Structure formats: structure tokens, C-alpha cells
Amino acid sequence: MNKIEVSKTIRSWRGLVELDERFSAASEEWVFRGEAIYRTPKTSLQRVCEQFEIDSKDVSQLERVLVKEFRRVYPIYEPGRVPDADDAIHWLSLMRHYGTPTRFLDFTFSLLIAAFFALEAPVKSESAGTYMPAAIWAVSKTWLTRHMLSQLRQIGPPELISEWDARKGRAFEKIFWNHAPPLKTVLAVNPLQLHERLHVQQGVFLCPGDVSISFEQNLIHLAGWRSNAKVFLIDQGCRHDVLWKLRRAGISRESLFPGLEGFSESLRVVVPLLFRWYKKMERKGGRIPTNSRNEFLYDKFDTAIA
């Protein structure tokens, strides 16, 4: 069956750490993506085309319209930070950052960061009424690089590889926009200049070559995909413990999305977790930090259970 199947289910913090250690010890470099449920990752471009029923043969044309419109209007909002006109990778990175649909799919070099994104917003099954397992996708970046070098040599000219290594826009355009027929492939892509969020999330984009088909269809077109593309489930039974330990490791929405918005959104996970601990200790007769009005002291309790 041409589908990336589940390799294993993680049921504890220790299981997640052991999985992280396994990939850290590997001789190849891997990248990861967290999903709230086990589903095929889709680019934002693919999702918007499905929502608006865009024919698959027209997706590439729609992409060019989106790029053109974003580049035309962006200087109005950020006049002092306009990328070079031919820096296609930087433009697409900015589009992805601000929410414009692109062919870029977010991955990270950190399995633990991917685990946070997988677990922070659980999805409940409508039929069973229970929360569904989350998923972490793992792809060998080393494997993708080997295929990339082989494909670039076939496309030519000889300087294309050095232009790609230098993140030249014309190299990206030649590979992804001007090659006919479109390459059924996936390449790891990052702009030369990272924005803050991409940096703190240890992010990297995986970029499908043919946008008329899905990301997964592009991926499994490459030889060796069965051993170099994996998916792991995380049982929701360990969600609270894992999220708490990730926070203690410095991984939360506040750290991954710097600024007031990230901090505010982090409270959606952090405060309920603390409050659960508070109530659990209270039921067991534990001493809870309160003030003279018997109000729960959040900051002291946070330290108390460290």
C-alpha cells in the first residue's frame, strides 16, 4: 500500500524521550511535524484549493497569483523590510509566516517541539467521544538531500547546485515554477535570512515539487520512502504529563511564538495544567499556597511543583 503507516504509539514522557534519543543518535538528520490527529499533512495551498474546489491543473497558476498579490501589497505594511525582488524563497517564507497559502509545509529539527504542536489542541472523536491520538511525522532530511542532488544534476546546468546552496531565487524558480513537467519530489527549503519565529521553532520547510498532487504523493514518489518517512502516534493518556514536562524544558507557545500574543495563548495550556495539579493536591490534603483571602497563588504554586 502506498501510504505512510504508523510505526509506533508513544504512551509516556519516557517513551517520547527515548524516541527523541533514537533520532538524535541516528547518523542521518531528521525533521519532524506535529499533527493533532493522524492525518496526511497538507500544505496551506492544498487546503485552500480543496476549500474553494480549485481544479488540480490550476493550482500552480493560483500559486503565482498569490505570490504576485502578496509581493505587490507587502511593502505597504513593511516598507523598511522588503526582500529582493528575485528572492523567491524569502517571499514564500514571509507568505507562510503571515498566513498566505503556499506550497511550504512547516517542519522542525526538534522532535519535542513537534510533540508540543501535536498535543496542545487535542481533537475529540465525534463517534467515540474520546480524544484521538496525536501524530508526529518524521522525514529524513539527509535522504531528501541525496535525492535533491541527483535531481539537480539531471536538470542542469552545472551551476544550479551552487545557486541552490546559495538560496538563489532563480534556482528555486527553475526547479519549482519553470520545470515541465513538474518534478514529483520534496526538497527541504529555508531562506538565507530567518525570521524570528522560524528561528526559535528550529523550523524548516518541506516543499513539494508538483502542487497538482498532495505532499504525501510527492514524498512517496521518491525511492526509499518506506524507511525514510515515518509517523508515530502519541496516546492522549499522557498528554497532560508530556505538556507539563515540555514546559519545564522551555517548550510552550510563549517560547515558540515570542511576544504578548504567544504568552496570552500559552495560558490556554499552562494555567489549566497548573489548576489540575492544584485540585489534585487539594483532594489529597496537600498544602496549597494561598493568600489571606484564600486565593490561589499561581506563581508560588508554579514553583512549588517544579
Amino acid identity of residue 118, one-letter, is: A
Q: Cα dihedral angle (73, 57, 41, 50), rounded to 10 degrees? A: 80
- The pLDDT tens digits for 148-197 are 999 999 998 889 999 999 999 999 999 999 999 999 999 999 998 888 99
Domain limits of the chain? 6-238, 259-304
Least Cα distance to 218 among 45, 28, 100, 62 occurs for 45
pLDDT at 294 > cutoff 60: no
pLDDT at 286 > cutoff 70: no
- What is the average per-residue pLDDT within 137-155? 95
Amino acid identity of residue 22, one-letter, is: R
- Residue 292 binned pLDDT confidence (cut-offs 50, 70, 90): low
Lowest mean pLDDT of 34-43, 165-174, 260-269, 286-295, name the range: 286-295
pTM of the predicted model as reported, rounded to 2 decimal places: 0.91
CA pair distance 243, 112, nearest whole angstrom: 10
- What is the average per-residue pLDDT within 85-113? 96
pLDDT at 276: 79
pLDDT at 304 > cutoff 50: no
How far does CA 84 lie from the centroid of its chain? 26
Q: How many CB atoms lie within 10 A of CB 280?
A: 11
CA pair distance 161, 247, nearest whole angstrom: 40
CA pair distance 146, 171, nearest whole angstrom: 17
- The pLDDT tens digits for 64-97 are 999 999 999 999 999 999 999 889 999 999 999 9
